Amino acid sequence: MSHPIALYLHIPFCETKCPYCDFNTYAGIEPLIPQYVDALAEELRLWGQALADSPKVKVILPPQKSSEGRRVPQQVGTIFFGGGTPSYLPPQHIQRLMDTARASFHLLPDAEATLESNPGDVTPERLAAWRQAGINRLSIGVQSLDDGLLSLLGRRHTSAEAVQAYRNARAAGFTNVNLDLMFGLPRQTLAQWRDTLAPILDLRPEHLSMYCLTLEEGTPLWAWVRSGAVPEPDPDLAADMYLLAQELAEAAGYDHYEISNWALPGYEARHNLAYWRSQPYLGVGPGAHSYLDGYRFAVAKSPRTYIQQVRECSSLPASLWTPQALKERGLLESSEAIDARTARGETMMMGLRLSEGVADAAFRGRFGVGLRETYASQILDLEEVGLLCWEGDCLKLTARGKLLGNEVFQRFLG
């Protein structure tokens, strides 16, 4: 496998829990932060050692060798601090984790290093500390510029604070900034969405992630909608909002390179591209997922269990630091070898999210068989109903297919 890996670090702390969120993140467990950062640094160190030093890890990922035959650290092309709210961590912890990543892996000189942030945390002091640590891409959770909707979403910031956070990031020298927005919210009108989009596009962030709200079962917002206390979002209106986002972002010069993501030329999120292109990634921290050389595995979700399990597993020799062994010891809650059929289906599901689509030559290069032979009936059916099309040797979603992506993906996963 020749790709550098994408490295994800999960930070499961939030100041408060937003009522729509079902991510693996917690409010009120701040006393765990020092032990948690110790465990995360230890997990990074152990993975770095295992992927560089142990011949047995060949079953996961071949260790790379220098020309003199010395084992060399695994290359890392991107780092992503996600959560949770990584910006909520005292910044010295970000510095320590970046230092540990550098000491444990070969972080490529042009590596993209992203940190997710909440607007209230984006202060000049923290920005300077993040830059010092090596963070070169900032993602800010703006969500909306409507204060009423921000309040409904339980966000801790106002629209003015979100814009100020962006300006602070620019003043601190960040030249690669993503803004996260949400649409399809209860009570949100098309006019309100336009009133968020237009000023956001005027700010010219390099990247925009715009996701339709999903009502996750079991969250407070889901319960409020269920009880009738909050109206259910209208899916047709949400589709109109998506089309408006497409239209305005395109007119402003953004490339709609993935179903929910737009970028100025050259600023696509390299870390997420690794997921969408089915390239290898390693996730550390509770609930984080990894995909390395045909194995998919996920860490146990509870931060307390995680801290405990990393301590217990840290005495393992590097040769035993493998998904199979870590699952037996309880650090991983799942680990499975991905068979070729599943890998092909996942490649379609992830690759079709991208406007570049899935190239027949690349698919054949990876699986030894072309798209038409593998998915003859699915492709014909989906072409016939106008959801898929060919452009050269690339199979892509049509404009309508982008609205109905989940229906298309299901056809390749069966």
Where does this chain bind ligand SF4 (CB under 6 A)?
14, 17-18, 21, 23, 25, 83-85, 118, 141
The DSSP element (H or E) to which 227 belongs, if any, is helix 220-227
Distance (Å, whole) CA 257 – CA 178:
14
Compute the chain's Rg from CA coordinates: 22
| Minimum CB distance to ligand SF4 smaller for 23 or for 390 | 23
Q: Is 328 helix (H, G, I), strand (E, B) or coil?
A: helix
Buried b (16+ CB within 10 A) or exposed e, 251-275: ebebbbbbbbbbbbeebbbbbbbbb
Among 302, 313, 327, 284, which Cα is nearest to 32's?
A: 302
* Closest separation in Å from C-beta 166 to ligand SF4: 17
* Closest separation in Å from C-beta 49 to ligand SF4: 30
* Closest separation in Å from C-beta 287 to ligand SF4: 12
| Minimum CB distance to ligand SF4 smaller for 4 or for 141 | 141
* Closest separation in Å from C-beta 15 to ligand SF4: 8
| Minimum CB distance to ligand SF4 smaller for 30 or for 42 | 30
Judging by beta carbons within 10 Å of its beta carbon (0-12, 13-18, 19+), is residue 6 exposed, middle or buried? buried
* Closest separation in Å from C-beta 94 to ligand SF4: 17
* Closest separation in Å from C-beta 24 to ligand SF4: 9
Residues 6 or more apart whose CB falls under 8 angstroms from that of 22 comprise 216, 218, 219
The DSSP element (H or E) to which 210 belongs, if any, is strand 207-212
| Minimum CB distance to ligand SF4 smaller for 118 or for 260 | 118
Q: Is 268 helix (H, G, I), strand (E, B) or coil?
A: coil
* Closest separation in Å from C-beta 118 to ligand SF4: 6
* Closest separation in Å from C-beta 180 to ligand SF4: 9
Place of tokens 């990247």: 207
Sign of CA dihedral 271, 277, 282, 288: positive
Residues 6 or more apart whose CB falls under 8 angstroms from that of 152 comprise 185, 186, 187, 230
409 residue type, one letter: F
Tell me the backbone φ, ψ of residue 77, rounded to 5 degrees: -95, -25
| Minimum CB distance to ligand SF4 smaller for 14 or for 97 | 14
